[in-house]
Structure 1
């Protein structure tokens, strides 16, 4: 079955989504013209807005009818996500994001870092307006954990002995945590504490699957589809799951080549590494792990009452997985 994004995922919250988009644009207004220009550039380069959609759907799945506050929360999540991307691009020295020049490439690193700071601060400024201490605490803790995930990733760079467990800790922080804030935050706002854990579990497993799929695509896709350059992770010596698995599935010169690539970074041996990753069974293993995480995400929703929004969350998880089918 092919999933249609507008019909099978966005439909239950389409009007709320439009209002949320409007709120983002109002949220990034600033007295400083450069802050506005950079924020606008980054927000407009926005991808599928998956996190805010997930937030709106989670609220609906909790039985929430009035999504006015949730629209604001969804916008705040997108602003936080945007801020982390701006900072990531500086850290990774990326010049392309979703096929467009990054903020650091368009302006410079200093500007990008400071505007990223502004977006995080602005998100919390707007979060305070929702006047919910539980929500504020969840986001404050979660944002710390997102930053910790990024630092863990930095520490693991050029470390060929990185384990799958460490990899999962890294991706939980840098990817899954914000998805968790999106769904659990919706349950907190809807005043449905009993749905906090299932929605958080859904988002955590979804985020893991999403990142594993992203890491698979770094070896199987092309720059146009990916919106960034192939082999970027290898270039930076990041030990992602395809490489970790490839080292377990190979020995001798092939294993040595991958170790050396992680150790030294760069893309001198890119074509050989891609070949080893593809032929060793590493990608099959990664796809299996992504499928398991997706299934765990879907299973977590079992406790929620049947609704279009719940169905849309399931479709979203399936669609994300379909990127590698």
Structure 2
């Protein structure tokens, strides 16, 4: 895991970002590498080659659910940043990262017993849990089957280590489920695995692929800190966002007993200031009983927790941007910088 100090000290000796343009929307960033992205998107589907029709049906169902393809977009931007030309290898790697991400979502939906994702029925709801789990396993296995084709042991090592970290992050989250004693460090360890690690793999893998060892640390730091910020922002929005835009009800994470930063910090602050409110939130975390969901959401909001979490997300965003300052200044770095701004703008 990279550290904030690493990113900060490196940034102190590098030029500041010169491309701090106004925030654009996601489609504008995608347009920077539109041709590469379109080819990659087709490869995500084209890489499925199971002889079992059910595997193909379920895989196509979950991939068709769409999503922004943010991880492969980052891979493609990093590749162009290294060398401004179309790279078949980079597009294959981007498709592999999306395949791994899709597999984690399938498994998450089973664990969370989710019936809908992005407005569509989940695989476990459409078929059943065993089918969804096994197809998720297939997607991971297929991703590694494709990784072997690069004939790069360092790349395979990066992805195999990273996939272990992802699984450990998910198990660590389960370990702390309904645990009111979970700490901020527990939370950071969880999101390092379940969220940030794949962003790091999507960036660091490009440095290996393009033989740019000097970019390995900045790419890794960017992926790590961007992933941290992205997850913290998501967790803040569980207490302050728009239910329709998010595709889930506010407070769902609390009901599921997930150890998210807003809840952890709220418990910490309330324990010092209001024992009655602390006990109310602690019992809700322990039991998952949120009959008064709006009351609990308001309790977290008024505790001061969300202000703290917003600042932590912005801190991680700044660290991601500092990592970018060590890279060549071009439109692809600008696209990555704009992604960080677009993500943090969700806090407004």
Give the TM-score range, shorter chain.
over 0.9
CA distance in 1, matches of 2:82, 2:136: 32
Secondary structure of the 1:48 match is: coil
Does 1 or 2 have the higher relative contact order (CA < 8 Å, sep 6+)? 2
Range with bigger deviation, 175-184 or 268-277:
268-277
Alpha-carbon deviation of 1:281? 1.1
CA distance in 1, matches of 2:159, 2:148: 11
Q: Does 1:262 align with 2:282?
A: no
Alpha-carbon deviation of 1:66? 3.4
Match of 2:216 in 1: 196
Match of 2:337 in 1: 314
8 Å CA contact 1:218–1:231 kept in 2: the answer is yes
Give a deviation string over 1:58-87, Cα, whole Å, max 9, x none.
111122523110000000000000000000
8 Å CA contact 1:206–1:293 kept in 2: the answer is yes
8 Å CA contact 1:98–1:228 kept in 2: the answer is no
Q: 1:238 to 1:140 in 2, by over 3 A?
A: same
Q: TM-score, normalised by structure 1?
A: 0.97
Match of 2:139 in 1: 119
CA distance in 1, matches of 2:155, 2:248: 34
Match of 1:294 in 2: 317
Match of 2:25 in 1: 4
Alignment of 1:9-24 (within 5 A): 9-24=29-44
8 Å CA contact 2:290–2:296 kept in 1: the answer is no
Give a deviation string over 1:122-159, Cα, whole Å, max 9, x none.
00111111121110110000000000000000001011
CA distance in 2, matches of 1:227, 1:99: 7
Range with bigger deviation, 256-265 or 170-179:
256-265
Secondary structure of the 2:228 match is: helix
CA distance in 1, matches of 2:293, 2:345: 25
Q: Does 1:240 align with 2:263?
A: no
2:82 to 58, 62, 67: 62
Q: Does 1:128 align with 2:157?
A: no
Aligned residues: 324
CA distance in 1, matches of 2:319, 2:291: 38
CA distance in 2, matches of 1:209, 1:148: 20
Range with bigger deviation, 235-244 or 166-175:
235-244
Range with bigger deviation, 260-269 or 150-159:
260-269
Alignment of 1:178-257 (within 5 A): 178-250=198-270, 251-257=274-280
Match of 1:44 in 2: 64
Alpha-carbon deviation of 1:248? 2.2
Alpha-carbon deviation of 1:235? 1.3
Alpha-carbon deviation of 1:4? 2.3
Q: 1:42 to 1:198 in 2, by over 3 A?
A: same
CA distance in 2, matches of 1:304, 1:91: 39
Which runs of 5 or more residues in structure 1 are unaligned?
Answer: none
Secondary structure of the 1:303 match is: coil
Alignment of 1:140-155 (within 5 A): 140-155=160-175
Alpha-carbon deviation of 1:6? 2.3
Match of 2:115 in 1: 95
